[in-house]
Structure 1
Amino acid sequence: MRQGGSVQKSMFNLRRLVRLVRLSAFIGGLSISIPAMQPGSVLAQSPTLEDQDQEDRIDVQWGKAWETMIQGKGNRWNLELPTLGGKQFWTDHRWWNGYRLQYNPTLEHWRLIDPGSVRKGWGTKEAMLELLGQIQEKETQGPQDKKPQEFTEVFLLLHGLMRTSSSMKPVEEELLARLGQKERADSVAIIRFGYASTRSTIASHAQAFRELVENLPGKPRVKISGHSLGNIVTRLAIAQWTEQGDPQGILKRIDRVVMMGPPNQGSSFAKRLSYLGLFEMVTGKSGMQLGPQWDGLSSSLGIPPCPFQIIAGDLTGSTIQNPLLDGPNDAVVTVEETKLDGMTELKTYPVLHSFLMQDPKCVADAVEFLLREIPPKSNAAPGR
């Protein structure tokens, strides 16, 4: 009876997940892009509508998996098949040479995927860490020319609310293009950190981010580029390293940060949308923390302990305007809301919030800053 009840609970969670995917597809873009409802707009290109056919196949595949799974703890029976999407529901906790340990807060289980997004196993966290350890041991014992590269520099890219790690691919591609011209390219890793932005609190996202960074092999220099909510996750992680301890010495190894469209002072747009009953259902707890619950979060955030750039959207003079915002803005966050004490520079572009990390000029500017050699700020230190 217990086994049958567990299967029923799992199937219920699966059906809930599918309903959430479809609900997000219907109104996900609406909550972010009300001012841009026109052909070719943010709504028309909303990431919640990407690969809907793939999401439908996920429904079928998950159903079959749950029906045939073996109940119990540890590493469960697994078919090594490529994942078919659903990135909005998975959070990275570990990264090793392209392998990712991920947690799904909706289905409440862990999985390990390889660099090609093939699931190598699923079950408890302990079982997945053991599996990852076996893979590490096997690969590090191979021929010298086949052994994993030890990185001296890591670029961490964090997406925003209701987006996935795929949205930061333009930044990764620009980095690869620029690094390909430099001798250090072979010793660099670029990690697009993925997290279930609408399924947990910002504190949960920050905890997962910290775990991933703290367990990177070696002691590489760290450079971070975030979009929107990704910057708040970064700031909370910095504050936690500052106050709760930093045994791995992460703070002293962070030497560049680029913030694209960061709601560093909260989001007045989110506050106003929060009065709509659907807002929390679509954006989750993280969306509420950027809006009506901002005051309870803002005092917990840190400031990068290094030079940092802010890139903001300014649609002044554009036909696209958000009547709910005052002053220059990108239709979601105002320029004033992006500012943060200690910033090295602030640059604005006539680009919508949702496209800052895809616009060629914004991306080129961000990458140039990440790679630029800037003398450390005097008295630079993490803080409030």
Structure 2
Amino acid sequence: MKKPRNQHFAALVIESLFFLTLLAAYANAEPALFGIGSKTLGGRFVWSDEVIYDDWRIQRHSTFGHYRLIDPNDRRHTFGTFENCLAELERAKQVEKLPPLPKEVVVMVHGLGASRQMMNGLADYLEEEGNYYVINFGYPSTVGDISEHAKSLTNVLRHLDGVEKIDFVAHSMGNIVIRMALADLASLPPSEQPEFTYNRFVMIAPPNHGASMADNFAESKIAQAFAGEPLQQLAPGKGWQSLEQRLATPSFEFGIIAGGHGDGEGYLAAIPGDDDGLLSVDTTQLAGASDFVLAKGIHQLLPQNDQVREYTVRFLQQGHFLPSGTKHPIAAVAGAAP
């Protein structure tokens, strides 16, 4: 299979980012003067989840810094300070008779330019096929830097009252957000450490050595405006080396699903070897992974890929991707690949 011309792919990337920016602008225009009980857009592009309980969400606005509480139907119940929203959530637990969180949950994190809605199908699959309780974390991926997103994720994790065990599933940059959050949590004093333990982590198309395509757009003002600071942070020639030093390698069991064409060439000529149209297979690898598998597909659509969904549930349940139980651990990585 011949790879598409680089300029065509670049045009597609720019067009997609432009569309996402328009959506973000629309989300940002959500009428702030609408009162309690008004329908919101759910915080797709400018709000970051800070607490999630039975799909009720305390969210922080990425620009103005104020908080709001929305219910599972995305209706606003209060806004203002975090303390005010937390108190209202506690009241809602009593009034709505919300059940306690289960002892084991799966925390799911989307990638750059997406929202938590991108992961809904995979979340539904985990709930239906694996009987898992999924917490689908949302954050404004193109606004602010990765450390801010990791901080929001740590806030969510620290408020999972009653949870004893956590699994993770992430796509693309969401894996980097989790790795930084793990490092942040590990740096806390023992008295502030969460009481839960980590179980397993499925990384879907993770840029574990940065993304060489980010280098191609790092100098573009248009791309920077659309993709935000993470574009610079993920670029190997820009901010990746600094960012990588702040990431944890999971100390618990994790597996990696890479996207590719399966022919050793991939979808994009600009990327050496097999690739998913954005990342090379090599750059997804991380030493210490207990299993590694290739799924045929392009980067953006991997969360919707049936094979990826099957691999994800099997790894969470059994610790391996293939039905045979054969595993392909990654003992070492030769070096950062494009």
AA of the residue aligned to 1:100: R
TM, length-normalised to structure 2: 0.83
Deviation at 1:264, TM superposition (A): 0.4
Aligned 1:262-277 pairs, distance under 5 A:
262-277=206-221
Aligned 1:113-128 pairs, distance under 5 A:
113-128=70-85
Matched residue, 1:382: none
Aligned 1:100-249 pairs, distance under 5 A:
100-139=57-96, 146=97, 148-179=99-130, 185=131, 188-245=132-189, 247=191, 249=193
Structure 1 regions of 5+ residues with no counterpart?
A: 1-32, 69-77, 140-145, 180-184, 375-384
Deviation at 1:150, TM superposition (A): 3.6
Please tell me whether the aligned partners of residues 254 and 289 of structure 2 are also in contact (alpha carbons under 8 angstroms): yes
Q: Structure 2 CA distance, aligned partners of 1:341 and 1:119?
A: 44
Q: Structure 2 CA distance, aligned partners of 1:246 and 1:271?
A: 39
Deviation at 1:85, TM superposition (A): 5.3
Please tell me whether the aligned partners of residues 53 and 101 of structure 2 are also in contact (alpha carbons under 8 angstroms): no
Please tell me whether the aligned partners of residues 255 and 305 of structure 1 are also in contact (alpha carbons under 8 angstroms): no
Aligned 1:37-48 pairs, distance under 5 A:
none
AA of the residue aligned to 1:94: V
Q: Structure 2 CA distance, aligned partners of 1:223 and 1:53?
A: 31
Deviation at 1:114, TM superposition (A): 0.6
More helix by share: 1
Q: Structure 1 CA distance, aligned partners of 2:79 and 2:18?
A: 26
Q: Structure 2 CA distance, aligned partners of 1:360 and 1:117?
A: 28
Q: Structure 2 CA distance, aligned partners of 1:209 and 1:84?
A: 20
AA of the residue aligned to 2:289: M
Matched residue, 2:9: 35
Please tell me whether the aligned partners of residues 155 and 190 of structure 1 are also in contact (alpha carbons under 8 angstroms): yes
AA of the residue aligned to 2:126: L
AA of the residue aligned to 1:349: A
Match of 1:314 among 254, 257, 260: 260
> How far does the alpha carbon of each residue in 1:243-278 deviate from its partner, in whole angstroms, 9 at most, with x for none?
234546548611100001100011111112112222
Q: Structure 2 CA distance, aligned partners of 1:35 and 1:277?
A: 18
TM, length-normalised to structure 1: 0.74
Match of 2:200 among 246, 251, 256: 256
Q: Structure 2 CA distance, aligned partners of 1:273 and 1:55?
A: 22
Please tell me whether the aligned partners of residues 263 and 274 of structure 2 are also in contact (alpha carbons under 8 angstroms): no
> How far does the alpha carbon of each residue in 1:344-375 deviate from its partner, in whole angstroms, 9 at most, with x for none?
1111122111011111111111121112268x
AA of the residue aligned to 2:205: G
Match of 1:343 among 264, 279, 289: 289
Flag the 1:203–1:280 CA change in 2: closer, same or farther, 3 A. Answer: same
Deviation at 1:106, TM superposition (A): 2.1
Matched residue, 1:323: 269
Classify the secondary structure of the residue corresponding to 1:308: strand
Deviation at 1:88, TM superposition (A): 1.1
Flag the 1:204–1:352 CA change in 2: closer, same or farther, 3 A. Answer: same
Q: C-alpha root-mean-square deviation of aligned residues, in Å?
A: 3.0
> How far does the alpha carbon of each residue in 1:148-186 deviate from its partner, in whole angstroms, 9 at most, with x for none?
13411111110000100011112111112213xxxxx4x
Please tell me whether the aligned partners of residues 158 and 194 of structure 1 are also in contact (alpha carbons under 8 angstroms): yes
Count how many residue pairs are aligned between Structure 1 and Structure 2. 313
Pick the structure with greater CA Rg: 1
Flag the 1:261–1:371 CA change in 2: closer, same or farther, 3 A. Answer: same
Flag the 1:321–1:198 CA change in 2: closer, same or farther, 3 A. Answer: same
Please tell me whether the aligned partners of residues 200 and 253 of structure 2 are also in contact (alpha carbons under 8 angstroms): yes
Matched residue, 1:356: 302
Q: Structure 2 CA distance, aligned partners of 1:302 and 1:53?
A: 32
Deviation at 1:319, TM superposition (A): 9.7
Structure 2 regions of 5+ residues with no counterpart?
A: 1-6, 321-338
